[in-house]
């Protein structure tokens, strides 16, 4: 919180015209926001905990577990496989004290988000990957289960394998508006990404976030995207706000995407503007390339204000609070 003395100091430094935090005291809490329309039931699950005055860390884990259970095409054991036909899962979780845990390339474990939380709570580490992550999960009582590709994922993989063209582009949802550099990935228009990222603030005003995904469809075996990387797919700073992302992970990693969003909020930008600034960084780096891909950021600040921004049309997000329960359409740059 900026006090008067600090404000005057900034003023005397000639910085009074920068985007200072506003002084409104209305805080919207509890609240949960999540990527995509698939976030609606995820939010509902998180809401059960938030509305009972539960902790945001429990709420985001419950939301992520819900979608990991649901044989979604892009999250959990039903998700799209890599190009070798193997489903590998990425997830991370972060609480209001900057405790965090993550898994990358985890196979045959149904709830990567809970493994991430276990790493956070019981080890001195943040991230375990591949076989080591699986071994840790098994040692901690998570059962081994074979991946069972959802119907969508099976069909998409069968179709992809006919040509096996290695072009790990994230599809852009509205192909008609894509412009010349936007090759659709799936000919039938089905999505090849749908990472679940969610951020919640509980009645105590504490923020937490979680991300879970099977990552980019048909990736090289071993590829890890932004989703499990703290500061890329998820970042929480309980003094400022939190952010998550979906889209081409490599582009998000390059700019430490969600950390960047939170830093913009720290400098007084609204969640939507902060997301926009991060999107601009990606686009400005290589506009031609950016026109071929999608990245969306979603953020919330400590007042429970939220916003999103994407490179392209098509990014949507879900919000649940005492005031609303709905899907919002993100603004976009190109
Ligand atoms: N960000 C994810 C990744 O690069 C993809 C997604 O959003 O679905 O793995």
**Residue 258 catalytic?**
no
Q: Domain containing 121 — which CATH number?
A: 3.60.20.30
Residue 1 lies in a domain: no
Cβ 247 under 6 angstroms from ligand 1: yes
Residue 15 lies in a domain: no
**Residue 256: φ, ψ to 5°:** 45, 60
Tokens of 197: 């990222």
Residue 126 lies in a domain: yes
Whether the predicted pLDDT of 21 surpasses 60: no
- Domain holding 295, by residue range, is 27-332
Q: Which of 305, 318, 298 is nearest to 234 (CA)?
A: 298
User: Around Cβ 316, how many Cβ atoms within 10 Å?
Assistant: 18
Residue 213 lies in a domain: yes
pLDDT tens-digit profile of 118-153?
A: 999 999 999 999 999 999 999 999 999 988 877 777
pLDDT band, very low/low/confident/very high, at 25 (cuts 50, 70, 90)? low
Atom of ligand 1 nearest to the CA of 248: 4
Residue 328 lies in a domain: yes
Q: How many CA atoms lie within 13 A of 109 on its CB side?
A: 30
Contacts of 143 (CB under 8 A, 6+ apart): 109, 110
For residue 235, the surrounding DSSP H or E stretch is strand 234-237
Q: How far is CA 159 from the centre of its chain?
A: 27
Q: What's the pTM value of the predicted model, to 2 decimals?
A: 0.86
User: Around Cβ 245, how many Cβ atoms within 10 Å?
Assistant: 34
- What pLDDT score does 141 carry? 98
- What pLDDT score does 165 carry? 67
Cβ 294 under 6 angstroms from ligand 1: no
Residue 3 lies in a domain: no
Residue 10 lies in a domain: no
Residue 89 lies in a domain: yes
- Contact between residue 289 and residue 283 where contact means Cβ atoms under 8 Å apart: no
Angle at alpha carbon of residue 276, lines to 89 and 233, rounded to 5°: 15
Cβ 195 under 6 angstroms from ligand 1: yes
Number of domains in the chain: 1
Atom of ligand 1 nearest to the CA of 74: 8
């Amino acid at each position: 919180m900026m006090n008067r003395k600090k404000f005057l100091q900034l003023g005397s430094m000639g910085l009074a015209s920068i985007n200072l935090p506003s002084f409104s005291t209305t805080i919207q809490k509890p609240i949960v926001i999540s990527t995509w329309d698939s976030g609606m039931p995820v939010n509902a699950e998180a809401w059960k905990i938030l509305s009972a005055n539960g902790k945001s860390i429990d709420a985001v884990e419950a939301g992520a577990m819900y979608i990991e259970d649901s044989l979604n095409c892009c999250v959990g054991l039903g998700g799209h496989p890599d190009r070798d036909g193997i489903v590998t899962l990425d997830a991370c979780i972060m609480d209001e004290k900057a405790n965090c845990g993550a898994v990358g390339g985890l196979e045959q474990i149904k709830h990567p988000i809970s493994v991430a939380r276990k790493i956070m709570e019981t080890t001195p580490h943040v991230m375990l990957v591949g076989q080591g992550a699986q071994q840790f999960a098994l040692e901690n009582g998570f059962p081994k289960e074979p991946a069972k590709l959802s119907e969508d994922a099976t069909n998409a993989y069968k179709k992809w394998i006919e040509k096996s063209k290695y072009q790990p582009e994230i599809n852009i949802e509205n192909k008609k508006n894509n412009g010349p550099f936007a090759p659709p990935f799936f000919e039938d228009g089905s999505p090849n990404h749908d990472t679940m990222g969610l951020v919640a603030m509980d009645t105590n005003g504490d923020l937490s976030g979680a991300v879970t995904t099977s990552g980019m469809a048909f990736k090289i075996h071993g590829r890890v995207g932004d989703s499990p990387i703290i500061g890329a797919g998820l970042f929480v700073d309980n003094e400022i706000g939190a952010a998550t992302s979906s889209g081409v992970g490599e582009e998000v990693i390059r700019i430490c995407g969600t950390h960047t969003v939170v830093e913009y909020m720290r400098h007084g930008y609204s969640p939507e503007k902060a997301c926009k600034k991060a999107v601009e960084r990606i686009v400005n780096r290589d506009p031609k390339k950016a026109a071929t891909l999608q990245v969306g950021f979603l953020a919330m600040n400590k007042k429970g204000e939220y916003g999103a921004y994407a490179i392209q049309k098509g990014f949507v997000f879900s919000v649940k609070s005492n005031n609303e329960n709905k899907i919002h359409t993100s603004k976009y740059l190109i």
